[in-house]
Amino acid sequence: MTYDTIKVERRGAVTLVTFDRPKALNALSSAVLADLTEAFAACDADDSQRCLVLTGSEKAFAAGADIKEMAPQSFGDMYGSNFFAGWEAVTRTRKPWIAAVAGYALGGGCEVAMMADILIAADTAVFGQPEIKLGVIPGMGGSQRLTHAIGKAKAMEMILTGRNMKAAEAEASGLVAKVVPADSLIDEAMKMAETIAAMPPLAAMAAKEAVNGTYEMTLAQGINFERRVFHGLFGTEDQKEGMAAFSEKRAGDFKGR
Ligand code: HXC
């Protein structure tokens, strides 16, 4: 399958998706959203695929929602079309996915990166929510996810002043899992994705569901949910295989059943 605004490559059990609008610094137009949701859904539906990596170019992961597309819109246009609601489909991806960010991840670019299960940054990465300078606010979850990730103090400062955050500060603040040299970003992201892809896939999907539950549930609900999911995994063949492999001192061979 080929797309106009992204490149999609299957590398073993990992789907590598690369934003491909270099002239617009990968600005996230409606066409990008349509391509991305299709590629993510295809990965979710393909049993041979167990993890996904989303990346951009050296200069920009994505410099935001497409300002040129948004500029002429009225309130009625935005409200009527529920603009940006389509991005929720990306957050419903069931398989684990990693955002590998080099260069600018601004506005919607930062927000898409924060939708990922794991965020890895090149040392060149720059994160920011500069929407206020355009007379708007984050519209793809930034006010919520950035605050969850780095706390109110820094999130409020960034969103009100529009200042950017470089990779080292992003790592120190808990926004990213890891910072790596720019020239090894894809290798590092693929290595992590391959590690995840070798795990029992049902357990991997369940684990991300449980972690993401933190955002939606009280502590007691979350712990109960975790325990029920843990119990449920004893109904899988992969649990038998994983525990047998441990006893037999060999690597598990997981089938996703
Ligand atoms: C549309 C964009 C774009 C964007 C860059 N471009 N960002 N087009 N939407 N978000 C285009 C430029 O217009 C230009 O096209 C080309 O990409 C190269 O960009 P330059 O500005 O010439 O590059 P540079 O000088 O290196 O500056 C890079 C930059 C700057 C600092 C990242 O492009 C920038 O500030 N971009 C906007 C960042 C931003 O405000 N993002 C938030 C968007 S709002 P031409 O054709 O002129 O060569 C958002 C909304 C979320 O995400 C929800 C609220 C509604």
| Band of pLDDT at residue 1, cut at 50, 70 and 90 | confident
pLDDT given at position 212: 94
How far is the centre of ligand 1, averaged over its atoms, from the C-alpha of 27 (Å)? 7
| Ligand 1 atom 9, closest CA | 66
Predicted confidence (pLDDT) at residue 145 exceeds the cutoff of 90: yes
131 part of the active site: yes
| Ligand 1 atom 40, closest CA | 130
Are the CB atoms for 226 and 210 separated by under 8 Å? yes
| Band of pLDDT at residue 70, cut at 50, 70 and 90 | very high
ipTM of the complex: 0.96
Q: Which atom of ligand 1 is nearest to the CA of 66?
A: 9
**pLDDT cut 70: percent of the chain above it:** 100
pLDDT given at position 251: 94
Mean pLDDT, to the nearest integer, of 25-31? 96
Residues in a beta bridge with 28: 65
Predicted confidence (pLDDT) at residue 207 exceeds the cutoff of 90: yes
Catalytic residue among 65, 99, 122, 193: 65
Per DSSP, the three-state class of 51 is: strand
Q: Which atom of ligand 1 is nearest to the CA of 139?
A: 53
Long-range contacts at 21-26 (CB < 8 A, ≥ 24 apart):
22/57, 22/59, 24/63, 24/66, 24/68, 25/57, 25/59, 25/60, 25/62, 25/63, 25/104, 26/56, 26/57, 26/60, 26/61, 26/62, 26/63, 26/109
How far is the centre of ligand 1, averaged over its atoms, from the C-alpha of 108 (Å)? 11
pLDDT given at position 163: 98
111 part of the active site: yes
pLDDT given at position 118: 98
Predicted confidence (pLDDT) at residue 58 exceeds the cutoff of 90: yes
How far is the centre of ligand 1, averaged over its atoms, from the C-alpha of 172 (Å)? 26
How far is the centre of ligand 1, averaged over its atoms, from the C-alpha of 243 (Å)? 51
65 part of the active site: yes
Q: Write down the mean pLDDT value for the chain.
A: 97
**C-beta neighbour count of 40 within 10 angstroms:** 23
Residues in a beta bridge with 52: 15, 97
Mean pLDDT, to the nearest integer, of 228-232? 97
Q: Which atom of ligand 1 is nearest to the CA of 84?
A: 53
Closest CA to 126 of 110, 148, 149: 110
Mean pLDDT, to the nearest integer, of 91-113? 98
pLDDT given at position 49: 97
Strand ranges (E), the chain? 6-11, 14-19, 51-55, 60-62, 97-101, 104-106, 118-122, 126-128, 164-166, 178-180
DSSP letter at 183 equals G
